[in-house]
Amino acid sequence: MESRIIFHIDFDYFFAQCEEIRTPDLKSKPVCVCVFSDRGGDSGAIATANYIARKFGVRSGIPIIFAKKRLEERKDAMFLPVDFEYYEEMSQKAMDIIKKSVDIFEYVGKDEAYLDVTNRVDGNFDTASHLAQQIKNAVREKLKLSCSIGVSSNKLISKIASDFRKPDGLTIVSPEKVEEFLEQLKIRAIPGIGKKTEERFTEMNFETIKDVKKLDVFTLNKEFGRKHGTYIFNAVRGIDTDPVKEREASIQYSKLSTLKKDSIDYEFLAENLIELCKELHEVIKKNNKTFKSVGIQFIQSDLTNKTKSRMLKNHTSSLEELQKNALLLLKESLEEQKSTIRRLGVKVSELAEIRGQSSITNYF
Residue span(s) of the chain under CATH 1.10.150.20 come to 185-235
Q: What's the pLDDT at 355? A: 54
Residues 6+ apart with CB under 8 A from 222: 229
Active site annotation includes 248: no
> Confidence band (pLDDT; 50, 70, 90) for 361?
very low
Alpha-helix residue ranges (DSSP H) falling in the chain: 14-22, 51-54, 64-70, 84-99, 125-143, 155-162, 178-183, 195-203, 209-212, 217-224, 226-235, 266-286, 319-334
Domain 15-83 has CATH 3.40.1170.60: yes
pLDDT in tens, 146-202: 999 999 999 999 999 999 999 999 999 999 999 999 999 999 999 988 888 999 999
Residue span(s) of the chain under CATH 3.40.1170.60 come to 15-83
Residue percentage of the chain with pLDDT more than 90: 71
On the question of pLDDT at 362 being above 60, the answer is no
CATH dotted code for 253-362 = 3.30.1490.100
User: Which amino acid, residue 95?
Assistant: M
- Please tell me whether 116 is known to bind a ligand: no
Give the pTM: 0.73
Q: What's the pLDDT at 38? A: 64
pLDDT in tens, 95-134: 999 999 999 999 888 899 999 999 999 999 999 999 999 9
CATH dotted code for 185-235 = 1.10.150.20
Residues 6+ apart with CB under 8 A from 30: 49, 50, 52, 53, 56, 58, 71, 74, 76, 77, 78
DSSP string computed for 104-124: EEEEEETTEEEEE-TTTTTT-
Residue span(s) of the chain under CATH 3.30.1490.100 come to 253-362
Rounded Cα–Cα distance for residues 255 and 41 (Å): 21
pLDDT in tens, 285-306: 888 888 988 999 998 887 777 8
Residue span(s) of the chain under CATH 3.30.70.270 come to 6-14+86-179
Determine if the peptide bond prior to 191 is cis (ω within 30°): no
Distances (CA, A) of 258 to 8, 37, 103: 35, 6, 43
> Confidence band (pLDDT; 50, 70, 90) for 2?
low
Out of 112, 267, 320, 350, the active site residue is: 112
Rounded Cα–Cα distance for residues 51 and 56 (Å): 9
CATH architecture of the domain with residue range 6-14+86-179:
2-Layer Sandwich (3.30)
